[in-house]
Amino acid sequence: MHSFGYRANAVLAFSVTILALICGIASFSDNFNSPSPDAQVRVLNINWFRKKPDGNDEVSLTLNISANLESLFTWNTKQVFVFLAAEYKTPKNALNQVSLWDGIIPSKEKAKIRIHTTNKYRFIDQGSNLRGKDFNLTLHWHVMPKTGKMLRDNLVMSGFRLPEAYR
Ligand SMILES: *[C@@H]1O[C@H](CO)[C@@H](O)[C@H](O)[C@H]1NC(C)=O
Ligand SMILES: *[C@@H]1O[C@H](CO)[C@@H](O)[C@H](O)[C@H]1NC(C)=O
């Protein structure tokens, strides 16, 4: 009775419904994955620390970053974007956030990181607030799924402190 066109249409509508259902289950099942990444960052050296001619403080650090982000990966994970930020308070701002390093992790097999590096992006304060400053190093991650919404979270490592004097 039904024309070929009508049937093809029905089949298409059915498979679109199934696909939507699978995508829904995929992103829903991600909610049950409670990842437990771990990370350690050590400041191995303060390479230099100065007040720039414009009056803003700048510091160069050598960092040892190690992290295991394998638990962020599920079969629905496309890739993970990570960045390490120095975070500190100043009289003007409750949170200053300076990105020092970032990377893209393409797969679970690459999710154990061991990096020994100087800061990839400049650590500059908008002022001269860095002497003797306590700061946190926070590893932030954005999990980009194949389907569903992006998840972001972070791990705070506290107890870092810059020297009292320029060097
Ligand atoms: C970097 O950190 C890892 C893990 O904490 C450690 O095994 C390694 O010895 C560190 N490297 C340096 C140069 O401190
Ligand atoms: C640094 O971390 C500590 C402990 O987690 C937290 O209390 C503090 O607010 C953090 N500082 C900044 C500037 O985010």
Tokens of 45: 């050296």
| Cβ pair 142, 150 in contact under 8 A | yes
pLDDT tens per residue across span 77-104: 999 999 999 999 999 999 999 999 999 9
- Residue holding tokens 């070929």? 4
Query: How far is ligand 1, taken at its centre, from the CA of residue 123, in Å?
Result: 22
Q: How confident is the prediction for the chain on average, in pLDDT?
A: 91
Q: Which atom of ligand 2 is nearest to the CA of 158?
A: 2
89 lines ligand 2 (CB under 6 A): yes
Query: How far is ligand 1, taken at its centre, from the CA of residue 64, in Å?
Result: 6
| Cβ pair 133, 88 in contact under 8 A | yes
pTM over 0.85? The answer is: no
In angstroms, the CA 16 to CA 54 distance is 59
Q: Which 3 state secondary structure label does DSSP give 117?
A: strand
Tokens of 128: 């001269």
93 lines ligand 2 (CB under 6 A): no
71 lines ligand 1 (CB under 6 A): no
Tokens of 95: 């949170």
Q: Which atom of ligand 2 is nearest to the CA of 89?
A: 13
Length of the chain: 167
| Cβ pair 75, 25 in contact under 8 A | no
Query: How far is ligand 1, taken at its centre, from the CA of residue 97, in Å?
Result: 25
| Cβ pair 115, 102 in contact under 8 A | no
pLDDT at 36 over 90: no
Q: Residue 111 — very low, low, confident or very high, per pLDDT cuts 50/70/90?
A: very high
Residues in contact with 133: Cβ distance below 8 Å, sequence separation at least 6, in sequence order? 88, 161, 162
- The DSSP 8-state label assigned to residue 43 in this structure reads E
In angstroms, the CA 77 to CA 30 distance is 9
